Amino acid sequence: MNYNPQKIEKKWQRRWEEKNIYSRPFRRKEKKNFYHLVMFPYSSGDLHIGHWYNFAPADVYARFKRMKGFNVISPMGFDAFGLPAENAAIKHRIHPKTWTYKNINRMRKQLKTMGAIYDWSREVITSDPSYYKWTQWMFLQLYKNGLAYRANVPCNFCPSCKTVLANEQVIDNKCERCGTEVEQKKIEQWLFKITDYTDDLLNGLKKLDWPEKTKTMQKNWIGKSEGWTIKFQILNSKFQLEVFTTRIDTLFGCTYLVVAPEHPIFKKLKSKISNIGPIEDYLEKSKKKTDRERISEIGQKTGVQIKGLMALNPVNQEKIPIFVADYVLIHYGKGAIMAVPAHDQRDFDFAKKHNLSIIEVIHPKSIVKSSVKKAPLLVSSELEHSAYDGEGFLINSDRFNGMRSLDARKRIGEWLERQNKAKKDVYYRLRDWLISRQRYWGCPIPMIYCQKCGWVPVPEKELPVVLPRIKNFKPTKEGRSPLANSKTFVNTTCPKCKGPAKRETDTMDTFVCSSWYYLRYIDPRNDKQFASKKKIDDWLPVNMYIGGAEHTVLHLLYSRFFTKALNDLKYINFKEPFLGLYHQGTILGLDGQKMSKSKGNVVSPDLFVQKYGADAVRMYLCFIGPYDRGGPWNPSGILGICRFLDKVYTLVETVKTKSQEETENSQDAKEINKLLNKTIQKVGDDIENFQFNTAISCLMILVNELSKNVRNKYSDIQTLLLLLAPFAPHLTEELWQKMGFSNLKDFKSANSIHNQLWPKYNPKLFKQSKIQLIVQINGKVRDRIEVKSSISKQDAEKLVLSRDIANKWIKNREVKKIIFIPKKLINIVY
RNA sequence: GCCGCGGUGGCGGAACUGGUUUACGCGUACGACUCAAAAUCGUAUAGGAGAAAUCCUGUGUGGGUUCGAGUCCCACCCGCGGCACCA
């Protein structure tokens, strides 16, 4: 290399920091604030190339916005509490706190080599008491407003991590972190009432400038189902069995009911059940099954008929049997379903297995006039093999025959509603957010239990409840938090009655900590409020948020919930935290696998930074492909970027030593000027759209052209450096100063290239006077002619037909048609 | 099974609203410079036929629409991501 990247990078990083060039508001007058945010890293130890892929191109975007005149803040911090820290600490036999802060120091150092515009004075670390004081404060606000509550709920328990997990943290019935099979346990836990916001969370999505895919995934995760709850009378009893369905239009095809094994009907009507022995066997068996076993038995559709009980179908008074089967889940809907085997695959499988009748009530085509009362039970031969769950027209449905299924949903529902046998209902897949963790390394839950007063919140002025440094932080066998062993922590006085009381020993899920960190960055050292109202109004919501797609349903949903709750409590005046969102792709190992320590395919950026410099690594990451795609890390192309940067350096050096001769009017100068203007436009548009790879390729074209030209103007070089500045901040700063563009002896914030504005372009210059007209004969390219761009169809025709090439192909055949696309092509069809 | 995304040279990838397929970069080959090497610069680089001009075939597969399809429509194959007994 012609220059030493390490030397100049260190030099400029030091000077930028000395002069604080990024923490000062830039262009105060403009007053256009732009909050640019990248998802803060987990303090896992080492930064890998995937982190850089998140942060470096994002920094290009932030720098570009800054040069466009926005007052950009781009903060950085660490997500520091949580299970992995603790598991790793246990493995390495050091305290989680020591381990975490050691990692943070290392990661901060690594991050600084990138040369990003992070304002380190805003750094937040979620495990600092000055931060978690406000996490606890948030908990108290939620608690006081009924959004945090305690309940004895069945939860996912990881026997290896010895803690409960949120539904979102269970993947394939395994613990997200350690991969151990989770167990179902009923424990008293703290939950956040995220379900109060289901509709808000759903409706808010519409206005967001987010990837459609992410919105759809959140929508599916919330899983809103609108339908009807229907009451089925149990014969010879006062009991009515309620079921929830989205397909009330299929009710005439309901041939039996099924209840979940946990359904209360067994207690209530035990005396009427004639086969209670086999039923209790079944209930016992399904209780013992893990969720995993239940899932692995999908398709088997086991179940037993509850003999002695029959239900009445409210539409036709048919007597239908009732079954218990564990394919029906207690926690969704009413824990009981109406089975329509013809139009639901699960019911179909069950009916086939247990030999139950199948009646077709929805036919894809309109085949039955409403006057025809009786059709064969099965019209469609396909129903021999599988259920039809689409829309269609009703048959076998008495007076509703011939009606569209969509209409019938409304009509049958309302008809039963008038008889008080059905009511409209909505269910969601989303369940409340379980935040208790029986682990040490987390934010303590600020609650106290008093024998007399019950659960009492810690008074706000006593916050934070400091996490004590204890020696034995390993989880206990019985699944109690390690904090329970610390008597000094546990024993306290009740804030209400001043009697003896005990602290909550569970800690919060780390996702609670990260659900509001973007608010703290704005005012990180404030110890009176989580952030001042004025600063919140100035900066929030976040304009652009960049991070991995793996956070689609966890972090992004929780953050939206926090924002909505804080908005309701009047602490903030916006309802969505992140207006813009972009997911970068995932960088994989060379083996095409996700990078992970256990696979040994983790790549550190450090070696590449040492060898080629941060500018080259930043740019190479931008160049390898579309930002949202990612792919295997293959460093073989990085030399191309190095050569490019070298070329830029050489180019600037040669221009510097040459005197500025008059070149204004030469043809070369005009062409260069045209290219320059085009490049300004293209690079700007591309960065705005996160198309960094094509932005770089047109910068390369520009540099190639400038390098061919012997007499370059200073102003052209100036523009080039400005366009390149977001990508290669160090080299461009070095060359900017070398060229003396700022004309100041001492380096000051104002004369940094990073405090200049993005160059403007003149679109008028793009107009080409001459173009290459493509000549097609029968749709195949046969010729190219240089013509005036304004050439008319007639002239183009004449010109083309006079040429030998055209005549060679057309010969004497009759020309049938001529298509002329101005400034592009002419196609002659014979 | 359902939803979403993708499939273009040896490789990473370009291609606007249907209009020159393969920009830019890597790699490779040859040449220049050099005692030599590296670096650098120059030329070539989808496949096939040909001495050449040139021609034919090519964007996962098969069909269709069109003067013209990587791009639009239908069917299918493969890869990736998400959800998955949610009534």
Residue with tokens 């069809």: A829
Tell me the C-alpha distance between A390 and A404, whole Å. Answer: 11
* A326 CB neighbours strand B below 7 A: yes
CB A448 within 8 A of CB A458: yes
Give the nucleotide nearest to A244 (CA→C1').
B87
CB A670 within 8 A of CB A749: no
Tens digits of residue pLDDT in A700-746: 999 999 988 777 788 889 999 999 999 999 999 999 998 877 655 56
**Average pLDDT, integer, range A107-127:** 95
* A693 CB neighbours strand B below 7 A: yes
Q: How far is the CA of A549 from the C1' of B28 (A)?
A: 38
Q: How far is the CA of A388 from the C1' of B1 (A)?
A: 14
Q: How far is the CA of A218 from the C1' of B79 (A)?
A: 25
Q: How far is the CA of A629 from the C1' of B70 (A)?
A: 19
DSSP A245-306: ES-GGGGGG--EEEE-TT-THHHHTGGG-TTHHHHHHHHHHHHHS-HHHHHHTTTT---EEE
Tell me the C-alpha distance between A278 and A365, whole Å. Answer: 43
Give the nucleotide nearest to A708 (CA→C1').
B41
Tens digits of residue pLDDT in A158-211: 877 777 776 667 776 777 777 777 777 778 889 999 999 999 999 999 889 999
Tens digits of residue pLDDT in A642-695: 999 999 999 988 877 665 555 555 667 788 888 999 999 999 999 999 999 999
Query: Helix A714-724 crosses helix A692-708 at what angle (to 10 degrees)?
Result: 160
What tokens does A453 get? 């007063």
What tokens does A476 get? 């206990």
Give the nucleotide nearest to A245 (CA→C1').
B87
ipTM of the complex: 0.94
pLDDT band at A371 (very low <50, low <70, confident <90, very high): very low
CB A774 within 8 A of CB A826: yes
Alpha-helical segments (H) within A419-553: 487-490, 510-513, 517-520, 533-539
Tell me the C-alpha distance between A6 and A720, whole Å. Answer: 22
Q: How far is the CA of A62 from the C1' of B36 (A)?
A: 49
More confident site: A569 or A471:
A569
Give the nucleotide nearest to A250 (CA→C1').
B87
Q: How far is the CA of A289 from the C1' of B42 (A)?
A: 74
* A770 CB neighbours strand B below 7 A: no
Q: How far is the CA of A748 from the C1' of B46 (A)?
A: 53
Q: Give residue numbers, 337 to 396 of A, with CB < 7 Å from strand B.
A: 337-338, 344, 346
Tens digits of residue pLDDT in A258-306: 999 889 998 888 888 899 899 989 888 887 776 556 666 666 788 899 9
Q: How far is the CA of A776 from the C1' of B64 (A)?
A: 23
User: Which of A15-24, A253-262, A513-522, A600-609 is predicted with the least confidence, judged by mean pLDDT?
Assistant: A15-24
What tokens does A43 get? 């303090």
% of chain A residues with pLDDT over 90: 53
Partners of A187 in the β-ladder: A153
% of chain A residues with pLDDT over 70: 92
Tell me the C-alpha distance between A429 and A220, whole Å. Answer: 8
* A623 CB neighbours strand B below 7 A: yes
* A776 CB neighbours strand B below 7 A: yes
Q: How far is the CA of A213 from the C1' of B61 (A)?
A: 28
Alpha-helical segments (H) within A93-128: 96-112
Residue A750's pLDDT is: 73
Longest dimension (CA), chain A: 110
Give the nucleotide nearest to A816 (CA→C1').
B67
Q: How far is the CA of A766 from the C1' of B23 (A)?
A: 18
Give the nucleotide nearest to A246 (CA→C1').
B87
Positions of strand B less than 7 angstroms from a protein CB = 3-5, 11-15, 19-21, 23-27, 39-42, 55-56, 67-69, 81-83, 85-87
Give the nucleotide nearest to A592 (CA→C1').
B80
Q: Give residue numbers, 583 to 602 of A, with CB < 7 Å from strand B.
A: 594
Buried b (16+ CB within 10 A) or exposed e, A509-547: bbbbbbbbbbbbbbbbeeeeebbeeeebeebbbbbbbbb
Q: Cβ of A497: how many Cβ atoms within 10 Å?
A: 13
Buried b (16+ CB within 10 A) or exposed e, A312-339: bbbbeeeebbbbbbbbbebebbbbbbbb
Give the nucleotide nearest to A809 (CA→C1').
B55
* A328 CB neighbours strand B below 7 A: yes
CB A122 within 8 A of CB A152: no
> pTM here?
0.91
Q: Give residue numbers, 790 to 809 of A, with CB < 7 Å from strand B.
A: none
Q: How far is the CA of A698 from the C1' of B33 (A)?
A: 30
Give all strands (DSSP E) within A46-147, no chain letters: 71-73
pLDDT band at A370 (very low <50, low <70, confident <90, very high): very low
* A818 CB neighbours strand B below 7 A: no
Residue with tokens 């523009």: A719
Q: How far is the CA of A635 from the C1' of B35 (A)?
A: 35
* A750 CB neighbours strand B below 7 A: no
Nearest to A61 by CA among A822, A609, A584: A584
Residue with tokens 């079921």: A243
Tell me the C-alpha distance between A12 and A29, whole Å. Answer: 27
The pLDDT of residue A809 is above 90: no
**Average pLDDT, integer, range A138-149:** 96
Tens digits of residue pLDDT in A10-40: 999 999 998 888 876 555 565 689 999 999 9
Q: Cβ of A248: how many Cβ atoms within 10 Å?
A: 26
Could you give phi then psi for residue A217, rounded to 5 degrees? -65, -40
Tell me the C-alpha distance between A751 and A748, whole Å. Answer: 6
* A626 CB neighbours strand B below 7 A: yes
Tell me the C-alpha distance between A466 and A440, whole Å. Answer: 12
